[in-house]
Chain A
Amino acid sequence: MKPAPFAYHRPSTLDEALATLAADPHAKVLAGGQSLVPLLSMRLAQPSALVDINGLAELDTILVDQSVVRIGALARHADVLANPAVRRAQPLVALALSHVAHATIRNRGTTVGSLVHADAAAEMPVVLTLLGGSVRVASVRGQRDIPAAELFLGPLESSLAPDEIAVSADFPVLPTGAGVAFEEVARRHGDYALCGVAAVADGDTIRAGFVSVSDVPTVVDLTGVPAGERGEAALAQLEPQADIHATAAYRSQLVRVLTERVVESAVQDRGVA
């Protein structure tokens, strides 16, 4: 379990990082390393070079304004989770983050890295999708914003080009009066969920996002569906898969149970904020 040889770069400015990345199509960005390093060690990923962005202090930011929570690429899960302004502006971010891994992993892992890593079993991609957020990416060619709906292409596959670095992610703030909730079932505390559900209830509109149920983060509109039928309604639009920890039928049961529970909590949460 030792990585194959790779070159290592630790640029000190974003421009330098982008140039280094552009020069080597097989290079990869290293952020918190909590997903990438295990892949390297098992030789499942064998990039020619790593561009370590941990020296780019300019990316270590968390900004909250009237409309968005903007999380810089070096903000660690733990920093985001502990930030009171983030919690106030968009409580779903903190609710979901408390389920991401364990404290030690949250201390290094970055929220933006988790988005780019595009694991459908991860919480933050679903939250970004449900809230209709976006990721800002930069390259030597310039900058662009990728909306969540266009970011996640497949399992562990995002729409970033090889020469692009994600510099920040925007999570829209919660509209006044809207309610949110998050719950998941994992085999062990801090594990990737067998199934997780996030929900937003804004006026009459009810939408739920699903973790670990499909290949990509999936959002289902449950507006107008009465309590007791929401689980089945969600399931009708999802195709839960089996793995060694859960059969498809059991995962479907979790979708049913959690959808009812979480949507109900989001509805209850409405108007409280």
Chain B
Amino acid sequence: MTTKLMGQGVQRVEDQRFLRGQGRYVDDVAVDPATLHAAVLRSPHAHARIVDIDVDAVLDLEGVHAVWTHDDLTGPMAEPLPLLIPHPTLTHGRTQYALAKDEVNYAGEAVAFVVADDRYVAEDALDAIRVTYDVLPPVVGIDAARAADQLVHDDVPGNIGARMEQSTGDAQAAIAQAPHRLALDLTVERSACTPMEGRGTVARWDPDTNRMQVWTSTQSSTGVRAVVAVKLGLDLGQVDVITPDVGGGFGVKINHPWPEELLVPLAARALGRTVKFTEDRREHFISSAHERGQVQHIEVGFDDDGRLLGLDVEFWHDHGAYTPYGLIVPIITSTQLLGPYKPEVYRVVFESLYTNTVMVTPYRGAGRPQGCFAMERTMDAIAAYLGKDRAEVRASNFIQPDEFPFDQGLIFQDGRELEYDSGDYPASLEKIKALVGWDEFPAFQKEMAALGRKVGIGLACYVEGTGVGPYEGAHVHIETTGKVKVATGLTTQGQGHATVFAQLVADELGVKFEDVEVVTGDTRRMPYAVGTFASRAAVMSGSAIHLAAKRAKEKVLKIAADALEASEDDLQIVDGVVSVKGSPGTSLDLGTISVLSNPLRYAFDEASKAATQFSVGDPGKPPVPEDEEPGLEGRDFYSPERATFASGMHAVIVETDPDTAEIKILKYAVVHDCGRLINPMIVEGQIHGGVAQGVGGALYERMAYDEDGQLQNASFMDFLMPYVTEIPDGIDIDHLETPSPLNPLGIKGAGEAGVIPSAAVFAAAIEDAERIPITAMPISPSELFHLRQEHQP
């Protein structure tokens, strides 16, 4: 038997291309000079009525082909963009238009669309458009939204898009009866995904075949396909969407359609030319999505051991100007907040508020970092109040390994019950304590204090619902060359899907890893798919691919058994060759079996002769048996009942400079449980990236809006995404593998986990170093300095 690849740190097949600059992103498509380029005029105001748009000067410019404003749009294109995920409590959902109609609600909203010979000319044209605005007072920040002195949307009272409540009982009563009570007020600020590649779309209309071909940098090619068809009045079958290499998504590209994803195809059809839009960095900051902004109020009642008797959480979620992605982010906060704990009674209520800022859609972690922050800050506050060890208080609240499946009594983001499938939190805690040196830390802290140095340690735990439905599918095709082509519909943003999916297929089919080629996000190859989000690719497509490979294998064995005149049970497949166990001479390679699977009339090469009508088949039977199809293919879908719940714990040791208040990371440790590991190296890479993003979110990044709703740091000069120099030198990682019972491979998602506990764990460590309550994240040296001033004895 070949050694199984599941569980091995197989080198990523993608990296040779990526590291040598041979990745092929949307901007690398259609590079010939005939391609036209689009640019978008964006609102300079956070809130304004559009009085007039004068485009007369534009068309005189040499090299300009067309300009669109809302007045030029008709039919479905003139309607608001879809609200992708409706929810009964989202009573006042609002989405923007592809091009603003009458009103703009954030600085950066698309107002006009120009197509020209190149992007330079297109931007010259933008300069020539004259828009008259009637500027309105903007609503910036959660406080202003709650005060509702001004409204973002005239017809949304109180700026409240949604109010949602869930509870497992009377939390206030439980708190009132508890021996101890605490209340916390917390704030988490905005950040954003900021992938290396921004958004981008290319479209080409082929009048000869009446087809639209779209390349777009998305996390859901089937989603874009569906909406392009609807908005442009095309049949689904006329639209192909191809997602080439994507230079990072982190959530921002799951929202769709972006205005340009519709306007580019529209222009391509209208002009009969290939049209390209490549978002620039400034545009990404002011017109793609942000996340994270929340204000939270927590009340908790607990016993002498710190056990949660009642937990009541109220939070206000800054949704920005629109709600195209529904309530997914705050729902996740409100449910995933519970982490590995089981409060006796829990109630959560949130308001989703409109502000005149860039809209909010999921960013890696998608509401979980905020939930984790609320819960873990509460745990630390309880420990401080009781004078207990922070790890101990957590341990006394853990769901125990024998309590799975564990129903939290809430409804999750996918509309299903929040039921944890498996986990082992006590074991994780032991591992993280050992990894970070939890028990030894107090002595070290004392030693450093004697030297005048301040160090602190923090711990944070999370549970992440991953691999949500509804489904993914896969198609496995064994070619007559013996090579295996695999297609799944969800998209790839650099995670290494081509590697892990090939590992699964190689294992199941018994073929060489090198002989498997994976295609993702191409609706021509797999038209049924959902998308890449919620750490679902490995679980959903991984399982579907495993099942599809199984089907292909069944067919291989059937045909081989026939041809080799052996029983299927006696066959084995090793390195792409089917042989009879114990008699290695009796064998057929998969290529030959593929030839045999497709009865031919015509021989087109030497190999295919074997399948022609005078060579094979029982003349008494139809060449393609009943219930069979020609070709050596397997297709299957995976659709789980509910999400699978991964978990983990992070710990960090920081040092704060007593004079400059700079915050330095001395050690970062992660214990991670995503069920069975397909490829530990890739999982660790995901953790590294997540931690790096988490460091950014906790210590560096924020969206600095001024009171006029202008983003003051819309560049990497001032939006402080950490460099490699700001990331811990090493991240100590330990894995735990608690298999999921929900899928054939026992796997759980791993993509987002690394970023979830960052704000919580850094707040805890800084609090420990400074002995000052940390209630707002991110935190900069400047802010820490002011906290020290406020708390001076």
Interface residues of A (CB under 8 A from B): 1-5, 42-43, 102, 185, 187-191, 194, 244-247, 249-250, 253-254, 257-258
Pairwise interchain contact A1-B700, C-beta atoms closer than 8 A: no
Q: Would you call B281 and A246 a contact (CB within 8 A)?
A: no
Residue on B with the closest CB to A257?
Answer: B659
Q: Are A187 and B723 in contact (CB under 8 A)?
A: no
Q: Is the CB of B780 within 8 A of A188?
A: no
Q: Are A249 and B786 in contact (CB under 8 A)?
A: yes
| Bound form: Cα–Cα A257–B659 in Å | 7
With A187-B700, A190-B725, A250-B782 as known contacts, state yes or no: A4 contacts B124, CB within 8 Å: yes
Query: When each residue 695-706 of chain B gets 1 if its CB lies under 8 Å from chain A and 0 otherwise, what string results?
Result: 000001000100
B282 in the interface, Cβ–Cβ < 8 Å? yes
Does B720 have its Cβ within 8 Å of any Cβ on chain A? yes
A210 to B700, CA, bound (A): 24
Alpha-carbon gap, A42 to B723, bound state (A): 23
| Docked pose: A187 CA to B725 CA in angstroms | 11
**Which residue in chain B gives the minimum CB-CB distance to A42?**
B282
> Is the beta-carbon distance between A253 and B785 smaller than 8 angstroms?
yes
> Looking across the interface, which residue of chain A has its beta carbon closest to that of B39?
A2
Inter-chain CA distance A42–B660, complex, in Å, is 34
Residues of B within 8 A of A254 (CB): 660
B704 contacts which chain A residues (CB < 8 A)? 244
A250, B120: Cα distance in complex, Å: 42
What's the minimum C-beta distance from A269 to chain B, rounded to whole angstroms? 21
User: For A250, what are the chain B residues with a Cβ–Cβ distance below 8 Å?
Assistant: 661, 781-782, 785-786
Given contacts A249-B785, A250-B785, 6 further A-B contacts (CB under 8 A): A102-B723, A185-B660, A187-B720, A190-B725, A244-B704, A253-B785
CB closest chain-A residue, reference B789? A249
Cβ-Cβ contact count across A and B, 8 Å cutoff: 69
Mostly helix, strand, loop or mixed at chain B's interface?
A: helix
Whether A3 contacts B280 by the Cβ 8 Å rule is no
Bound state CA distance, A253 and B713, in angstroms?
24
Given contacts A188-B723, A254-B660, contact A1 B280 (CB under 8 A): yes
Across-interface contacts of B785 in A (CB, < 8 A): 247, 249-250, 253
Whether, in the assembled complex, B712 has its beta carbon less than 8 Å from a beta carbon of chain A, the answer is yes
CB-based contact A188/B282 at 8 Å: no
Asked if B720 and A4 sit within 8 Å, CB to CB, the answer is no
Nearest CB in chain B: distance from A216 CB, A: 21
Decide: A2 and B782 in contact? CB cutoff 8 A.
Answer: no
Taking a contact as CB atoms closer than 8 A, the residue among A4, A188, A258 that contacts B725 in the complex is: A188
Q: Is B273 an interface residue (CB 8 A)?
A: no
Contact B725 A2 (CB under 8 A): no
Looking at A190, A244, A246, A257, the one whose CB has the most chain B CB atoms below 10 A away is: A244
Q: How far is the CA of A194 from the CA of B124 in the complex (A)?
A: 36
CA gap between A45 and B726 in the complex, in Å: 32
- State how many angstroms separate the Cβ of B766 from the closest Cβ of chain A: 16
Binding site for A on B (CB under 8 A): 119-120, 123-124, 127, 280-283, 659-662, 700, 704, 712-713, 718, 720, 722-723, 725-726, 780-782, 785-786, 789
CA distance A2 to B280 in the complex (A): 9
List chain B residues, Cβ under 8 A from A1.
123, 280-283
CA distance A245 to B712 in the complex (A): 11
CA gap between A117 and B282 in the complex, in Å: 23
Q: A247: nearest residue on chain B (CB-CB)?
A: B782
8 contacts between A and B (CB under 8 A): A2-B123, A187-B720, A245-B718, A245-B720, A249-B789, A250-B661, A257-B660, A258-B660
Which residues of the partner chain B approach A249 to less than 8 Å between Cβ atoms? 785-786, 789
Which B-chain residue is minimally distant from A244 (CB atoms)? B704
B63 to nearest A CB, angstroms?
A: 11
Bound Cα distance A3, B120 (Å): 7
Residue in chain A with minimal CB distance to B725: A189
Which residues from chain B contact A257 at a C-beta distance below 8 Å? Answer: 659-660
In the assembled complex, how far is the CB of residue A121 from the closest CB belonging to chain B, in whole angstroms? Answer: 11
Instruction: Write the nearest CB–CB distance from B21 to chain A, whole angstroms.
Output: 16
| The 3 residue pairs across chains A and B that have the minimum distance between CB atoms | A189-B725, A250-B782, A1-B280
Q: Which of chain A's residues have a CB closer than 8 A to the CB of B780?
A: 187, 245-246
| Cβ of A247 to closest chain B Cβ, rounded Å | 5
Contact of B700 among A43, A185, A188 (CB under 8 A): A188
Q: How many whole Å from B286's CB to the nearest CB in chain A?
A: 12
Residues of A within 8 A of B718 (CB): 244-245
Residues of A within 8 A of B786 (CB): 247, 249-250
**Chain B, Cβ-Cβ closest to A258:** B660
List, in ascending order, chain A residues with CB within 8 A of B282's CB.
1, 42
Are B127 and A253 in contact (CB-based, < 8 A)? no
Q: How far is the CB of A11 from chain B (nearest CB, A)?
A: 24
B782 touches A190 (CB 8 A): no
In the assembled complex, the Cα of A4 lies from the Cα of B700 at a distance in Å of: 33
Q: Which residues of A contact B720 (CB under 8 A)?
A: 187-188, 191, 245
Give Cα A188 to B695, complex, Å.
Answer: 12
> CA separation between A5 and B726, bound complex, in Å?
38
Chain B residues with CB under 8 A of A185: 660, 662, 781
* Chain A residues whose CB sits within 8 angstroms of the CB of B281 once the complex forms: 1
Verify A253–B725 contact, CB threshold 8 A: no
CB of B120 within 8 A of CB of A189, answer no
Shortest B60–chain A CB gap in Å is 15
| Distance A3 CA – B124 CA, assembled complex (angstroms) | 9
Complex: chain B residue closest to A1, CB-CB: B280
* Contact A245:B660 (CB < 8 A) given known A187-B720, A189-B723: no
* B718 CB to nearest chain A CB (Å): 7
Whole-angstrom distance between the Cβ of B699 and the nearest chain A Cβ: 9
Find out whether the CB atom of A244 lies under 8 angstroms from the CB atom of B660. Answer: no
B residues in contact with A190, CB < 8 Å: 723, 725
CA gap between A187 and B720 in the complex, in Å = 8
Minimum CB–CB distance from B198 to chain A (whole Å) comes to: 11
Q: Residue on A with the closest CB to B123?
A: A2
Q: Collect the chain B residues with CB atoms within 8 Å of residue A245's CB.
A: 718, 720, 780, 782
B726 x A189 contact (CB < 8 A) = yes
B782 partner residues in chain A, CB cutoff 8 A: 194, 245-247, 250
Whole-angstrom CA separation of A253 from B789 in the bound complex: 11
Shortest B371–chain A CB gap in Å is 27
Neighbouring A residues of B662 by C-beta, 8 Å: 185
> Which of B120, B661, B789 lies in contact with A5, CB distance below 8 A?
B120
Residues in A with CB closer than 8 Å to B283 are: 1
**Contact among A2, A247, A253 for B660, CB-based, below 8 A:** A253
CA–CA, A4 to B281, complex, Å? 17
Whether A188 pairs with B119 at a CB distance below 8 angstroms is no
Q: Using Cβ atoms and an 8 Å threshold, which residues of chain B touch A2?
A: 119-120, 123
Nearest Cβ on chain B to A227's Cβ, whole angstroms: 15
Q: Which residue of A lies closest to B120 (CB)?
A: A2
Residues of A contacting B700 in the complex (Cβ-Cβ under 8 angstroms): 187-188
Complex Cα distance, B716 from A42, in Å, reads 13
A244 touches B723 (CB 8 A): no
Contact of A5 with B659 at beta-carbon distance under 8 Å, contacts A244-B713, A247-B782, A250-B782 already known: no
Q: CA of A245 to CA of B659 in the docked complex: distance in angstroms?
A: 17
B702, chain A: closest CB distance, angstroms: 8
Distance in angstroms from B792 CB to nearest chain A CB is: 13
Contacts of A194 in B (CB 8 A): 781-782
User: How far apart are the CA atoms of A102 and B723 in the complex, in Å?
Assistant: 11
Is A4 a contact of B660 with CB atoms below 8 Å? no
Please name the residue on chain A nearest to B662 by beta carbon: A185
The CA-CA distance from A188 to B280 in the complex, in Å, is 23
Determine the distance from Cα of A217 to Cα of B4 in the docked complex, in whole angstroms.
Answer: 65
Distance to closest chain A CB from B325 (angstroms): 27
Considering only CB atoms, which chain A residue lies closest to B283 in the complex? Answer: A1
Q: Is the CB of B781 within 8 A of A4?
A: no
How far, in Å, is A24 (CB) from chain B's closest CB?
20
Say how far B693's CB is from chain A's closest CB, in angstroms.
15
